[in-house]
Amino acid sequence: MNEIKQRVIQFFQKAGIVITDIEKDKIEVADFGLNDFENTGLTLLTYVNTQRCCAKEMVLFPNQTCPEHIHPPVCGQEGKEETFRCRWGRVYLFIEGEETSTRAVNPPRGEYTVFHQIELNPGDQYTLIPNTKHWFKAGDEGAVISEFSTKSRDESDIFTDKRIKR
């Protein structure tokens, strides 16, 4: 676990992102219960998550995938709206819509149903409307991605692959 966090800190350094020592301890490692972290996993640091808005820094290691999910409405409130901004490396975001016939990457083992590809390089960003299926996979070097969103309730996310638990 400590080894993974050290690797995350190195990625933040590559992206020029400074975090405090207290924040280093708050880095979250998600393997989505699949026990295949190198292929399906995500690491993140939540800067702020109030009732109204949220900001995170996320790292995907090379060719690692955050698996397909949606953010449904919760407690009568619209689902989470989120903007992904690539800070370093490259990430391929897949959303609902026409399948990209020449997609650059394939998903890992598991259930994936949306294949409209959006390539994000440093400085590129994309805003997802609520309740849209999506998944994302890093390129060969990995990726550092900022997320700006409404309140995050990771425990409410619905994954296409029913084996997954957050």
Using CB under 8 A as the binding rule, whether residue 26 contacts a second copy is answered as no
> What is residue 156's DSSP assignment?
G
> What is residue 153's DSSP assignment?
-
| Contacting range for a second copy; rule: CB under 8 A; set: 3-11, 12-20, 33-41, 61-69 | 12-20
Q: What is the 3-state secondary structure (H, E, C) of 115-126?
A: CEEEEECCCCEE
Using CB under 8 A as the binding rule, whether residue 96 contacts a second copy is answered as no
The nearer residue to a second copy, 81 or 154, going by C-beta atoms, is 81
118-121 long-range contacts (CB < 8 A, ≥24 apart) are 118/92, 118/93, 118/94, 119/90, 119/91, 119/92, 119/93, 120/84, 120/85, 120/86, 120/90, 120/91, 120/92, 120/93, 120/145, 121/86, 121/90
- Fill in the per-residue mask, 27 to 46: x = in contact with a second copy (CB under 8 A), - = not in contact: --------------------
Using CB under 8 A as the binding rule, whether residue 85 contacts a second copy is answered as yes
In the complex, the smallest distance separating the C-beta of residue 33 from a second copy, rounded to whole angstroms, is 29
Q: Which of residues 65-84 bind a second copy (CB under 8 A)?
A: 78, 81, 83
Using CB under 8 A as the binding rule, whether residue 150 contacts a second copy is answered as yes
The token pair that represents 147 in the structure block: 């997320």
Q: What is the binding site for a second copy (CB under 8 A)? A: 15-20, 23, 47-48, 50, 52-55, 78, 81, 83, 85, 87-88, 122-125, 127, 146, 148-150
